[in-house]
């Protein structure tokens, strides 16, 4: 998103701080330029030659880059912003805002105990923590926790579709009923009133893969009046990539919601090259609707440990395991070999677990 630059037609002659002599990369898409940045209170007031201006504090940025704070639009930081207020993995890299609740999972809104008897959160919900972390019945409750211990960065919250389903459905292997959709819509609308920036889905995951297009359309239709976004980890990013893009376009068209495709990619060697078609479909749809996408800058993906994802991966490395933490950092194939068991058995023994899957092509990423 381009940064909004200050009006420099009337440059003040006194600032609270001047960041001097850095290479300014301002987010407008133009080339970097050597300039000073003048700050008054908590706002950038001027960019240019401020060598003659006064400042309470002057920071020498010679040889350094000066840029607006980055917005990390695709995170699962719902818990980290609460438990690690410094949010060092992000703030240390210049990120000043994170969008949480992606891929259909968010810590809020979820009524504790509504899935009594289940040892662990289902599917991708385990990415965010244990049941003890799902303790915010409303987004307002979650926001109150943030305000009680403010993180060092800004937080924009999406509401996860799988989290909504988990709150009203007894199982995930079917479409939601009309009554269940109405119940989810009511919770979603309240969350939007409480400040949610949109709805996310993770249609590739077991918690949502059986949700039909109509279910998503009905929920996404709640968003337009709030100016909120629909973001999606699409149903398929491999052999059915293009049909999944088309489904996303249909949801955007029928619901009227501004839509973002999360981490658009082609996974699995046999599917490399399909971005030519998927990007063409996106470009055509953009002529008549608000449709965008974000991408990974690397050739690996990271999520929960899933058999379907293993089948398209050149190499898989374990990143977490509640039951066998000593295996973290190991390649999955080496664990299977050491244990002398089947892939299914290894997944069961390691889960809940996470993994990095190397399954993308560098040329696709750059395209």
Q: Long-range pairs for 275-284 at CB < 8 Å and ≥24 separation?
A: 275/241, 275/364, 275/367, 276/367, 277/242, 278/241, 278/242, 278/245, 279/367, 281/242, 281/245, 281/246, 281/249, 282/245, 282/249
Q: What is the pLDDT of residue 240?
A: 97
Q: What pLDDT sits at residue 11?
A: 81
Reported as a single tens digit per residue, the pLDDT across 281-325 is: 999 999 999 999 999 899 999 999 999 999 899 999 999 999 999
> Band of the pLDDT at 5, cuts 50, 70, 90?
low
Average pLDDT over residues 256-283: 97
83/85 Cα distance (integer angstroms): 6
Residue 9 has pLDDT above 60, yes or no: no
**What CA–CA distance (Å, rounded) separates 290 from 26?**
25
Please name the fold of domain 301-366: Dna Ligase; domain 1 (3.30.1490)
pLDDT score recorded for residue 10: 72
The 10s digit of each residue's pLDDT in 319-366 is 999 999 999 999 999 999 999 999 999 999 999 999 999 999 999 898
pLDDT tens, position by position, 100-117: 999 999 999 999 888 888
Locate 66 and state its tokens: 């000066």
Q: What is the mean pLDDT of residues 218-224?
A: 98
Q: Are 222 and 188 in contact (CB under 8 A)?
A: yes
Q: Is the pLDDT of residue 23 over 80?
A: yes
Residue 184 has pLDDT above 90, yes or no: yes
Q: Is the confidence at residue 6, as pLDDT, over 90?
A: no
Tokens 């240019």, located at residue: 48
Q: 241-255 and 275-285 helices cross at what angle (nearest 10)?
A: 10
Looking at domain 14-66, which of 3.40.50.2300, 2.30.40.10, 2.60.40.1510, 3.40.50.300 is its CATH number? 2.30.40.10
Domain boundaries, the chain: 14-66, 70-295, 301-366
Q: What pTM, to 2 d.p., does this model score?
A: 0.89
Residue 350: per-residue pLDDT: 97
- The pLDDT-based confidence of 2 (bands split at 50, 70, 90) is very low
Indicate the pLDDT class of residue 4, thresholds 50, 70 and 90. Answer: low
Q: Encode pLDDT of 117-159 as tens digits.
A: 899 999 999 999 999 999 999 999 999 999 999 999 999 999 9
Mean pLDDT for 1-17 is: 69
Identify the pLDDT of residue 116. Answer: 83
| CA 9 – CA 46 distance, rounded (Å) | 9
Q: Higher-confidence residue: 218 or 9?
A: 218
Domain 70-295 has CATH 3.20.20.140: yes
Give 29-55 pLDDT, tens digit per residue: 899 999 999 999 989 999 999 999 999
Share of the chain above pLDDT 70, in %: 98
């Amino acid at each position: 998103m381009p940064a909004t630059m200050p009006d420099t037609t009337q440059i003040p002659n006194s600032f609270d701080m001047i960041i001097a002599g850095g290479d300014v990369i301002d987010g407008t898409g133009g080339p970097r330029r050597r300039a000073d940045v003048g700050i008054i209170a908590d706002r950038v007031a001027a960019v240019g030659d401020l060598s003659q201006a006064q400042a309470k504090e002057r920071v020498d940025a010679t040889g350094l880059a000066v840029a607006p704070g980055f917005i990390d639009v695709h995170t699962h930081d719902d818990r980290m912003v609460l438990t690690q207020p410094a949010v060092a993995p992000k703030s240390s890299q210049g990120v000043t805002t994170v969008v949480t609740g992606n891929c259909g999972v968010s810590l809020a809104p979820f009524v504790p105990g509504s899935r009594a008897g289940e040892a662990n959160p289902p599917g991708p919900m385990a990415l965010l923590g244990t049941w003890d972390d799902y303790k915010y019945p409303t987004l307002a409750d979650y926001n109150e926790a943030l305000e009680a211990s403010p993180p060092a960065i800004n937080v924009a919250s999406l509401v996860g579709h799988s989290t909504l389903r988990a709150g009203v459905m007894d199982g995930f292997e079917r479409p939601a009923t009309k009554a269940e959709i109405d119940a989810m819509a009511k919770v979603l609308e309240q969350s939007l009133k409480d400040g949610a920036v949109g709805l996310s889905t993770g249609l590739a995951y077991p918690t949502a893969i059986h949700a039909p297009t109509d279910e998503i359309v009905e929920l996404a239709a709640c968003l337009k009046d709030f100016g909120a976004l629909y973001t999606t980890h699409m149903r398929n990013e491999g052999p059915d990539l293009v049909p999944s893009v088309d489904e996303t376009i249909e949801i955007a068209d029928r619901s009227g919601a501004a839509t973002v495709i999360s981490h658009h990619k082609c996974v699995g060697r046999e599917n490399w090259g399909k971005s030519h078609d998927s990007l063409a479909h996106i470009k055509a749809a953009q002529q008549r609707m608000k449709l965008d996408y974000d991408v990974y800058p690397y050739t690996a993906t990271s999520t929960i440990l899933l058999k379907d994802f293993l089948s398209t991966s050149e190499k898989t490395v374990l990143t977490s395991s509640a039951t066998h933490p000593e295996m973290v950092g190991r390649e999955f194939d080496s664990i299977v070999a050491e244990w002398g068991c089947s892939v299914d058995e290894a997944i069961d023994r390691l889960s809940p677990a996470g993994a990095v899957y190397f399954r993308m092509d560098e040329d696709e990423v750059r395209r």
